[in-house]
């Protein structure tokens, strides 16, 4: 009798060293979405988008969209960057078909980190797949953590001015989930230090106050880029193409170009929220542009 098919098996947790720090990528969830174009490249033709997909051996119609929070243990504080979808798909009918349930807290626990162990939760920005795991059933998921919000991002959602129609429900979520946490929060701007060794970087565009974070220890560094790049081919090889979910598309393009240049020049490891798991790699300059090179064993040596 032949062996039974077992179904897909994919890693969901990857831990690595950075100087005296320890970091980990956590696969919160992933969605398979239809419509590569115009989701990517609305300012280009479908033929151009599909040709780039074929040139990189990826499907022209469907794409994988993972969510990958990053955990950094500095030896003094345990810092979580973003929280994934959490219970949003269960608690909000509007999101039940759009988002898969989040698993960040459960996967952290499975690898030795209880929710109460998290000292700091950093929110790169306010979109649902980043704030969804903050609260479940009205209670904070990480009960002892302090929160770090970008001041510009927090103020934008709090005031609710100039929120585009597609983000109106997002604003409702932010007000319900994040505003009650303000008493336990620190509000930062680009250039500020989160904890020693972790510094905020301006990557505004995808959201009004999106921030990346440079993590440095013992002369080694990597950059947590959040949603600066949201697909490893489309957003890197054609940074000028619009992404449907970017709130300020022209600013997002300018930010991508600036960060691609900086990251490739510094040859810095990148941890990206929506790249193929574990979301770690490098930006490489090639003829005519840039390319994402996945991490292999560089951080294992």
Give the end-to-end CA distance of the chain in Å, rounded to a whole number.
Answer: 44
Closest CA to 191 of 203, 206, 179, 207: 203
- In this prediction, residue 1 carries a pLDDT of 83
The per-residue pLDDT for 265 is: 97
Q: Are strands 120-123 and 146-150 parallel, antiparallel or unpaired?
A: parallel
Residue 217's pLDDT is 98
Q: Residue 288: its pLDDT value, please?
A: 87
Domains within the chain, CATH numbers bracketed: 13-300 (3.60.15.10)
What gap in Å lies between CA 199 and CA 105, rounded to an integer?
24
Q: What is the mean pLDDT of each run of 10 residues along the chain (301 residues)?
A: 89 97 98 96 98 98 97 98 98 93 98 98 98 97 98 97 94 98 97 98 98 97 98 98 96 98 98 98 96 95 82
What does the pLDDT read at residue 271?
98
Beta strands in 6-92 (DSSP E): 13-18, 21-26, 29-34, 62-67, 70-73, 78-81
Tell me the whole-structure pTM to 2 decimals: 0.97
Q: In this predicted structure, what is the pLDDT of residue 22? A: 98
- State the Cα torsion 118-124-129-131 to the nearest 10°: 50
Is 240 within 8 Å of 253 (Cβ atoms)?
yes
pLDDT of 118: 98
* 27-55: b (≥16 Cβ within 10 Å) or e: bbbbeeeeebbbbbbeebeeeebbebbee
User: Is 165 strand, coil or helix?
Assistant: helix
């Amino acid at each position: 009798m032949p062996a039974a098919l077992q179904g897909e098996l994919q890693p969901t947790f990857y831990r690595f060293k950075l100087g005296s720090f320890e970091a980990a990528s956590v696969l919160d969830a992933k969605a398979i979405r239809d419509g590569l174009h115009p989701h990517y490249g609305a300012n280009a033709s479908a033929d151009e988008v599909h040709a780039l997909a074929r040139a990189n051996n990826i499907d022209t119609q469907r794409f994988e969209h993972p969510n990958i929070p990053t955990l950094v243990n500095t030896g003094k504080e345990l810092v979580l960057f973003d929280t994934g979808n959490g219970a949003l798909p269960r608690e909000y009918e509007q999101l039940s078909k759009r988002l898969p349930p989040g698993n960040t807290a459960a996967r952290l626990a499975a690898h030795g980190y209880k929710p109460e162990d998290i000292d700091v939760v950093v929110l790169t920005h306010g979109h649902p797949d980043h704030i969804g795991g903050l609260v479940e059933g009205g209670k904070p998921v990480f009960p002892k953590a302090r929160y770090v919000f970008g001041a510009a991002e927090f103020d934008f959602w709090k005031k609710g001015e100039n929120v585009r129609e597609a983000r109106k429900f997002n604003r409702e979520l932010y007000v319900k989930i994040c505003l009650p946490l303000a008493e336990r929060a620190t509000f930062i701007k680009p250039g500020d230090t989160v904890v020693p060794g972790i510094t905020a970087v301006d990557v505004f565009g995808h959201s009004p106050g999106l921030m990346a974070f440079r993590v440095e220890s013992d002369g080694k560094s990597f950059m947590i880029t959040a949603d600066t790049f949201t697909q490893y081919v489309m957003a890197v090889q054609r940074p000028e193409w619009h992404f449907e979910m970017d709130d300020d598309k022209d600013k997002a393009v300018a930010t991508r170009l600036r960060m691609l240049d900086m990251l490739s020049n510094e040859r810095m490891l990148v941890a990206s929220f929506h790249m193929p798991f574990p979301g770690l790699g490098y930006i490489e300059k090639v003829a005519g542009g840039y390319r994402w090179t996945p991490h292999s064993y560089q951080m294992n040596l």
